């Protein structure tokens, strides 16, 4: 039914204590960090309230219902059939990514990332004892794609794995199955691995199809590990829980002995909330995606009118908008100018790659339409101030 997704007032949002709403002063509209403004889905809120009322706040237990809920969601959403022993519970996708590198690679191995990309990807390889190898995305108009020849060259030069962001943060690209199958073939030729962070997958926008990496080919199943969580789609980032998914027994064996230690680092509330999300949150998610799709269209239509020269990447998933302001005539980094003159906080583009991100910002549009209009007005005010 309509009205499942509800947004607090700005006054209510300023009473929150999460990172998004405490980092800046009350005169700043904060739209950087990737958390949404909406109220919790009702079943998730109920499960958490019941746990608090019961004092059920201990360590996470081994609950097959949580894994089964994810398996059911994956089958219904993507036609992805998973066995329970393919799914390993852990704290979050950062832990999952780092632990996957440690399980599969040797210290000092090269790990490919594709700029512009989620900033922690720059740090994950070093945290796992590896070295980073940069192969930027290729831009074609307002869309981005993997540079498969560049990736092959990096593997040929000694890289052992690739961190795939799929859907890709910040540009919102859902990598097509044909490119992913090509990536899998390249990876297997060079005896490597793909670690696919798929946390934004449930947020694939209407009109687009998300192919899980492990489903695109038999080769992908042999070389791939996928990372999943309910945290992004249902706004549960503070409740730690995620999954490492394998399809090849040999890869699963690499995680032998890690199941219990990883589970104990997860959050009990994360598992409770995640299970409720996967079992009962589909209708809420469907409505949310309609809101996000409308928000993306609003930015694409209005921002170039308000700021001539602004280019907004075509997003196929998520609630993040990647905005190129290099042709807007602004005298400096847009993130700095927006904060100083518009009192609008965005995520500065250079955080996603110093070269490819210069002159860009990432705008979080996981908010009400009214708040998005206020953000666009602050873009316009900044443009007027710096360009006259």
Q: What is the largest CA-CA distance in the chain?
A: 63
Could you tell me which residues are beta bridge partners of residue 382? Answer: none
Q: How confident is the model at residue 181 (pLDDT cuts 50, 70, 90)?
A: very high
- Averaged pLDDT, 326-344: 98
**Residue linked to tokens 């009192």:** 343
3-state DSSP assignment of residue 28: coil
- Averaged pLDDT, 179-208: 99
pLDDT score recorded for residue 119: 98
Q: Which position has the higher pLDDT, 1 or 62?
A: 62
Q: Is the pLDDT of residue 361 over 90?
A: yes
Q: How confident is the model at residue 243 (pLDDT cuts 50, 70, 90)?
A: very high
pLDDT score recorded for residue 218: 98
* Phi, psi (rounded to 5 degrees) for 138: -100, 135
Give the number of C-alpha atoms closer than 13 A to the C-alpha of residue 144, restricted to the C-beta side. Answer: 26
- Averaged pLDDT, 115-134: 98
Beta strands 360-364 and 320-324: pairing type?
antiparallel
| Of the listed ranges 145-154, 170-179, 244-253, 335-344, the one predicted with least confidence | 244-253
Q: Is the pLDDT of residue 291 over 60?
A: yes
Q: How confident is the model at residue 2 (pLDDT cuts 50, 70, 90)?
A: low
* Phi, psi (rounded to 5 degrees) for 159: -60, 150
* Phi, psi (rounded to 5 degrees) for 381: -65, -40
Q: How far apart are CA 114 and CA 121, in angstroms?
A: 9
Q: Which position has the higher pLDDT, 250 or 315?
A: 315
Distance between alpha carbon 264 and the CA centroid of its chain, in Å? Answer: 24
CA 41, 46, 48, 52 dihedral sign is: positive
Q: How confident is the model at residue 1 (pLDDT cuts 50, 70, 90)?
A: very low
Q: Is the pLDDT of residue 192 over 90?
A: yes
- Averaged pLDDT, 108-137: 98
- Averaged pLDDT, 20-35: 96
> Kindly report the CA angle at 364 between 18 and 166, in degrees rounded to 5?
105
pLDDT score recorded for residue 296: 99
Rounded alpha-carbon distances, angstroms, from residue 259 to 131, 214, 250, 255: 26, 20, 15, 7
pLDDT score recorded for residue 261: 81
Instruction: Return the CATH architecture of domain 10-40+281-387.
Output: Alpha-Beta Complex (3.90)
DSSP letter assigned to residue 121: G
Beta strands 110-113 and 131-134: pairing type?
parallel
Q: Is the pLDDT of residue 303 over 60?
A: yes
Q: How far apart are the first and last CA of the chain?
A: 47
Average pLDDT, the chain: 96
pLDDT score recorded for residue 6: 97
- The closest of 270, 283, 302, 279 to 383, measured between CA atoms, is 302
- Averaged pLDDT, 85-104: 95
Give the number of C-alpha atoms closer than 13 A to the C-alpha of residue 161, restricted to the C-beta side. Answer: 30
- Averaged pLDDT, 3-16: 96
Distance between alpha carbon 265 and the CA centroid of its chain, in Å? Answer: 21
Q: Is the pLDDT of residue 263 over 80?
A: no
With a pLDDT cut of 90, the percent of the chain lying above it is: 93
Going from N- to C-terminal start, the domains of the chain cover 10-40+281-387, 44-280
Q: How far apart are CA 343 and CA 365, in angstroms?
A: 16
The answer to whether domain 44-280 has CATH 3.40.640.10 is yes
Alpha helices (runs of H) in 23-167, residue ranges in sequence order = 42-53, 64-78, 93-104, 124-127, 148-156
Q: How confident is the model at residue 195 (pLDDT cuts 50, 70, 90)?
A: very high
């Amino acid at each position: 039914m309509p009205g499942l997704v509800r947004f607090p007032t700005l006054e209510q949002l300023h009473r929150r204590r999460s990172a998004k709403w405490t980092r800046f002063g009350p005169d700043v509209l904060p739209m950087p960090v990737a958390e949404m403004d909406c109220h919790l889905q009702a079943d998730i809120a109920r499960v958490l309230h019941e746990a608090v009322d019961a004092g059920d706040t201990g360590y996470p237990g081994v609950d097959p219902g949580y894994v089964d809920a994810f398996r059911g969601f994956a089958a219904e959403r993507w036609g992805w059939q998973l066995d329970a022993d393919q799914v390993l519970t852990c704290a979050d996708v950062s832990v999952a990514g780092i632990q996957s590198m440690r399980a599969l690679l040797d210290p000092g191995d090269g790990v490919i990332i594709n700029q512009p990309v989620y900033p922690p990807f720059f740090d994950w390889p070093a945290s796992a004892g590896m070295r980073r190898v940069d192969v930027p995305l290729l831009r074609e108009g307002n869309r981005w794609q993997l540079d498969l020849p560049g990736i092959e060259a990096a593997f040929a030069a000694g890289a052992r794995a690739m961190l795939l962001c799929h859907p890709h943060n910040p540009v919102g690209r859902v990598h097509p199955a044909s490119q992913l199958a090509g990536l899998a073939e390249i990876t297997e030729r060079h005896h490597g691995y793909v670690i696919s962070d798929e946390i934004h997958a449930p947020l694939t926008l209407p009109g687009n199809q998300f192919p899980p990496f492990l489903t695109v080919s038999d080769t992908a199943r042999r070389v791939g590990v996928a990372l999943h969580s309910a945290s992004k789609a249902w706004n549960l980032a503070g409740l730690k829980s995620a999954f490492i998914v394998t399809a090849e027994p040999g890869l699963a064996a690499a995680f032998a002995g890690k199941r219990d230690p990883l589970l104990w680092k997860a959050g009990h509330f994360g598992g409770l909330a995640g299970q409720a999300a996967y079992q009962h949150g589909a209708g809420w998610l469907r409505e949310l995606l309609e809101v996000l799709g409308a928000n993306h269209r609003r930015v694409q239509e209005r921002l170039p009118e308000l700021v001539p020269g602004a280019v907004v990447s075509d997003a196929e998933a998520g609630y993040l908008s990647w905005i190129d302001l290099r042709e807007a005539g602004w005298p400096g980094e847009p993130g700095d100018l927006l904060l100083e003159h518009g009192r609008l906080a965005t995520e500065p583009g250079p955080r996603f790659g110093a070269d490819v991100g210069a002159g860009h910002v990432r705008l979080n549009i996981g908010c009400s339409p009214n708040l998005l209009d206020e953000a666009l007005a602050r873009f316009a005010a900044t443009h007027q101030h710096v360009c006259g």
